[in-house]
Amino acid sequence: MSSPSSPPTPDTDQAHRQGIVTRSTGSWYDVRADDAMIKSRVRGKFRLDESDVTNPVAVGDQVTVRINEEDGTGLIVEIHDRDNKLSRRAAGHRADQEHVIVANVDRAWAVQSVQLPRLNTGFIDRFFVSADMHDIPAGLVINKADLMDEADRVRMMDIQNMYADLGYPVLVTSVVTGTGIERFREALTDRVSVVAGPSGAGKSSLLNAIEPGLDVETGEVSRKTRKGTHTTTYAQLHPLSFGGYLVDTPGIREFGIQRMHPADLAHFFVEFIPYLDDCKFQDCTHDHEPGCAVKAAADRGAIHRRRYESYLNLLHSLQDDEG
């Protein structure tokens, strides 16, 4: 995988530079080319060619920019092929479009909190499916461990074991006590990583604890709504002093899966795979059909009930989209 630490060799034409997109604010992009940071716009044809996506250029993209000699700004004239991407369905009235969160990433981490806001396994499962669709290894960070009471402890242990048994790395962290901070730092070292989660999960405070020099703005969680305020308003790639790069993302409350046929979903729930060929019907949705090996495995506890119900929720939402 191409690394942000080694952008392509600059073009011999000094009017053109090659680099990596480190920040996207919607209309402007920061492109790092060697030691220079170039404020750039995107060529209009890319927006026309990529009308099914909200952002033709994403943080992590390797690009070629043409320099405007008058003011030093750049125009992105070429987007190089991506190794992979992490994307989700766009929010609001653009829900039929894809929003690319980051390109060319080594690992994606879902950040959730024990409380304020409460951990959401539906978000985690959708995030993992989206990462798996693009062959990006994913993991889970359970933050705000200092808020755990005894009931939370039992629930978090169940969730932690559930995902760890499926092969997903799970880290438990607390900025208040320092729990898990060093382990997370080690997991990020010498990789290009992205973190995503809902506002209020403590993501910004966690990133500041890992790399104090980042100075990521933090916000408070409303005790009334139990939801956080959006402090990160755009995606940004940060170099890490201990090696590697970290992409911080705006708070995401819902993680919608984009462009997946309902029949393909089961293949992205790894624990379903051993049972898929044993169903009575070849086109089994693993929902209501008789002779379903996946449903039988869930009924006898071989598949975690929480994961099976999450699969059904996601399946039904994809079927609604198809309808």
**Mind listing the pLDDT tens digit for each residue in 99-152?**
899 999 999 999 999 999 999 999 999 999 999 999 999 999 999 999 999 999
Residue-wise pLDDT tens digits, 86-104: 998 887 666 678 889 999 9
How much is the mean pLDDT over the chain? 88
Are the C-beta atoms of 95 and 284 separated by less than 8 Å?
A: no
Please identify which residue in the block is written with the tokens 């939801």: 227
Residue-wise pLDDT tens digits, 225-253: 334 344 456 889 999 999 999 999 888 76
Range of lowest pLDDT (18-27, 44-53, 132-141, 202-211): 44-53
Amino acid type, 23: R
Residue 320 to residue 175: CA distance in whole angstroms: 40
How many alpha carbons fall within 13 Å on the CB side of residue 91?
7
Range of lowest pLDDT (113-127, 188-202, 251-265): 251-265
Domains of the chain in sequence order:
16-79 (2.40.50.140), 85-248 (3.40.50.300), 262-322 (1.10.40.50)
Residue 1's pLDDT band (boundaries 50, 70, 90)?
A: low
Read off the pLDDT of each residue in 26-37 and give the average, rounded to a whole number: 91
Q: Is the pLDDT of residue 319 over 80?
A: yes
Residue 41's pLDDT band (boundaries 50, 70, 90)?
A: very high
Contacts of residues 163-166 at CB distance under 8 Å and 24 or more positions apart, as own/partner, are: 163/124, 166/270, 166/271, 166/307
Nearest Cα neighbor of 102 from 195, 184, 31, 34 is: 195
Q: Is the pLDDT of residue 265 over 80?
A: yes
Amino acid type, 30: D
